[in-house]
């Protein structure tokens, strides 16, 4: 009776183990990518018109599949954006670099960057703000 019971447990234990092929290749089931942004808004504070300012938005792939940034759009020609064109693997971090040219700007400004990825049909919005002081244009609020 004990031998039969031990044999039954041994068969159940072996049946619950992953197959040798899956264990050898180390392949895990792929999931959906997830765009995780550390900080959505960056404030440059008070700046003088004409300054070139840069900021790096750190993001991560918090999902299971590879994350691709398909495109980036801005609402102003004063912004230049660079982003990784290679997929970001699950669990990895990378950066979206933003260069803001404050020439011609005055007062409180808010600029948006729309990031389109394979993780979401809707764009992820990033923003930069600054208070631009322009000696050529003096506006009183």
Per-residue pLDDT reduced to its tens digit, 65-109: 999 999 999 999 999 999 999 999 999 999 999 999 999 899 999
Q: What is the mean pLDDT of residues 47-61?
A: 97
Report the chain's mean pLDDT, rounded to a whole number. Answer: 83
pLDDT digits (tens, 9 = 90+) for 87-96: 999 999 999 9
pLDDT class of 121 with cuts at 50, 70, 90: confident
In SS3 terms, the chain reads as CHHHHHHHHHHHHHHCCCCHHHHHHCCCCCCCCCEEECCCEEEEEEEECCCEEEEEEEEEECCCCCECEEEEEECCCCEEEECCCCCECCCCEEEEEEEEECCCCCEEEEEEEEEEECCEEEEEEEEEEEEEECCCCCCCC
| Domain range summary for the chain, segments of one domain joined by + | 35-133
CATH of 35-133, one of 2.60.40.10, 1.20.1290.10, 1.20.120.420, 3.40.50.300: 2.60.40.10
Q: What is the pTM of this model?
A: 0.74
């Amino acid at each position: 009776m004990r031998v039969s019971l031990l044999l039954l447990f041994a068969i159940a234990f072996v049946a619950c183990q992953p197959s040798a092929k899956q264990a050898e290749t180390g392949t895990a089931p792929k999931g959906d990518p997830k765009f995780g942004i550390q900080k959505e808004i960056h404030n440059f504070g008070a700046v003088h018109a004409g300054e070139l300012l840069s900021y790096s938005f750190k993001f991560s792939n918090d999902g299971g599949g590879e994350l691709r940034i398909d495109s980036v759009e801005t609402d102003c020609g004063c912004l230049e954006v660079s982003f990784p064109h290679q997929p970001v693997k699950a669990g990895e971090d990378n950066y979206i670099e933003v260069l803001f040219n404050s020439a011609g700007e005055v007062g409180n400004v808010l600029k948006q960057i729309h990031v389109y990825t394979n993780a979401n049909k809707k764009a992820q919005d990033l923003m930069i703000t600054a208070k631009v002081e322009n000696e050529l244009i003096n506006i009183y609020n």
